[in-house]
A and B are shown apart, each in its own frame.
Chain A
Amino acid sequence: MSQSAADVLARSELEPLERPRFRAVPYLLEMQAELLQTWRQPSFSIPTLLFPAMFYFFFGIVFGQSNGYSSYLLATYGAFGVIGTALFGFGVSVAVARESGEMLLKRVAPVPPGAFLAGKMTSSLVFSGLVLAELFGLAAIFGGVRFERGEWIGLAAALLLGSLPFAALGLAIGTYASGNGAPAIINLIYLPTAFLSGLWIPIQVLPEFLQKLAVVLPPYHLSQLALGVVGRSVGQPVALHVGVLLAMTAVCLLVAARGFRR
């Protein structure tokens, strides 16, 4: 039964190709590969999965429960968690893939254009989902947070969808940064803007000029969308938040597209 390599090669399979049809297999395998890859990289998966939950536990539950901030901070630490997952998931992995030549191999192989992004997006959303499950569990069990079922679902949906603009930002960073530089650049953007957007401590606690400044920061808008679902936003129009996030997505995708063409 065993054929030699030369036998198999000798088969003639050189008839002209039909027009390429959509095939789901590369998409599925690319998604699976991205998930496995992320999961097997503890230096990424452990901080991603533990930090938001740890921060929420300290600030939202240990400190927040007495002053009623557990549910408020669930929304903002949820935003903190999914933003970090998206930024690091996209930014670092794209930068590393560019540097190692993986991107080059995928450009040479006929990888369907959408499969690469679909894989990374799936992995980012699955990990964001895990982060949210941890936070929701902590909130419900230890934080005494009580929401309607619709509010839980709405909050998760707003945060997961809202993570995508930050995936685009990560992609834009990843197309320019080096593999070693990407984490530093991302942290430099991620941590200060998280604080200034009121993700760590409620925005109302910040000095007034910082509250005004926050309007230019995309994480602020995601957190306000999430807070809106549970009735705790500052009351600006949803269209403003969505508009800012969409604008950032468009700019980042343009930058990334330019970067890929280089």
Chain B
Amino acid sequence: MSSQALDISGRGLGGASARPPVAQLVDVSKHYGSVRALDGLSLDVHRGEVLALLGPNGAGKTTAISLLLGLLRPDGGAATVFGLDPRSIEVRTRLGAMLQVSGLAPTLTVRETLQLYRSYYPRPASLRFLVELADLGELLDRRTDALSGGQLQRLMLGLAMAGDPELVFLDEPSAGMDLESRRRLWQSVRDVASAGRSVLLTTHHLEEADALADRVAVIHRGTLIAEGTPTEIEASVSGRRISCVTSIDLARLRAIGGVNRVERRGAATEIFTARAEDVLRQLFDLDPGLSALEVGGAGLEQAFLALTRDDQDQERAA
């Protein structure tokens, strides 16, 4: 018991990686018919960390979560949670999950739903705790079919935490949320993490991974293509982002040598490149009236795009 207690506070002491992971995929593959969803994916979730599984839609994130929940069986490799078969009742008792479903009894109130899910666990979190964590105070007597998308997601987070779990899976937790709801959800996830609970989060928002995760695993087409802290991932791809207001049209900009990508953001144009100096020289030649110039690091987003480049190219070709 005391060693378990130490595990929680072990976060940040560098001890996490020395301990067995709380959830583990070892060389798993999974096919749906002829479609290969996962191809030799290995992944460890360490105790007390927030691991973001980052990847474009269809990368295999939800499949990975489903394997760890025991909802799917791997075709090859192994999925374990707490060193056990994910289908065992013990695992399900110690785990919480927020999935991409909104399957709740529509006519029950938030309070009734929370109490029902609390009852499934031998040592549930208190109702007051769940209400505070997921920010449900004003919604307790509202029927679940009267909740907005963001409110429903908060309730789903509350249900995931109903059993006071050691490990929480959050599958695209902020999908469909507006900015304000997303920030509130992030705060809740940070509360969960700061008490040493382990979190595995899937997202295709870099901002979300950056804001929440201790470690990011980038998966693409069912395989792990990069792993590290958000800063490490960002550093693994060198590149600069140039932002300016210019009259040069997009096609002309894309034709400049060394330009990887061009995007319009409002009045501004963003240019991503590994050769910022060359590109800048040409920009001034083409448009002497260029204004509002900023040059910065490309950020995690650019790193992510670079890592999943072939996917982008394919989409463009399609």
- B52 at the binding interface (Cβ < 8 Å): no
Interface centre among A5, A12, A20 (most CB of B within 10 A): A5
- B8 at the binding interface (Cβ < 8 Å): yes
> Which of A108-116, A148-156, A201-209 sits within the interface?
A108-116
- B139 at the binding interface (Cβ < 8 Å): no
- B104 at the binding interface (Cβ < 8 Å): yes
A109:B166 contact, CB within 8 angstroms: no
List the interface of chain A (C-beta within 8 A of B): 3-6, 8-10, 12-17, 20-21, 23, 25-26, 28-30, 33, 36-37, 40-41, 97, 100-105, 107-112
A36:B195 contact, CB within 8 angstroms: no
CB pairs A–B below 8 angstroms (11 shown): A6-B191, A10-B196, A12-B4, A14-B1, A14-B166, A26-B119, A41-B107, A107-B71, A108-B99, A109-B159, A109-B163
Task: State the CA gap A5–B159 with chains docked (Å).
Answer: 15
Task: State the CA gap A16–B119 with chains docked (Å).
Answer: 19
Q: Name which residue of chain B comes closest to A40, CB basis.
A: B107
Q: What B residues does A4 contact at CB under 8 A?
A: 132, 191
Q: Name which residue of chain A comes closest to B94, CB basis.
A: A17
A25:B69 contact, CB within 8 angstroms: no
B69:A108 contact, CB within 8 angstroms: yes
Q: Choose one: B99, B122, B129, B133; the contact of A104 (CB below 8 Å).
A: B99
Given contacts A13-B164, A14-B166, contact A5 B99 (CB under 8 A): no
List the interface of chain B (C-beta within 8 A of A): 1, 4-5, 7-8, 69, 71, 89-90, 92-95, 97, 99, 101-105, 107-108, 112, 115-117, 119-123, 125-126, 129, 132-133, 159, 162-164, 166, 188, 191-192, 194-197
Task: State the CA gap A11–B43 with chains docked (Å).
Answer: 28
Interface centre among A26, A104, A110 (most CB of B within 10 A): A110
Given contacts A15-B1, A105-B99, contact A5 B191 (CB under 8 A): yes
B129:A20 contact, CB within 8 angstroms: no
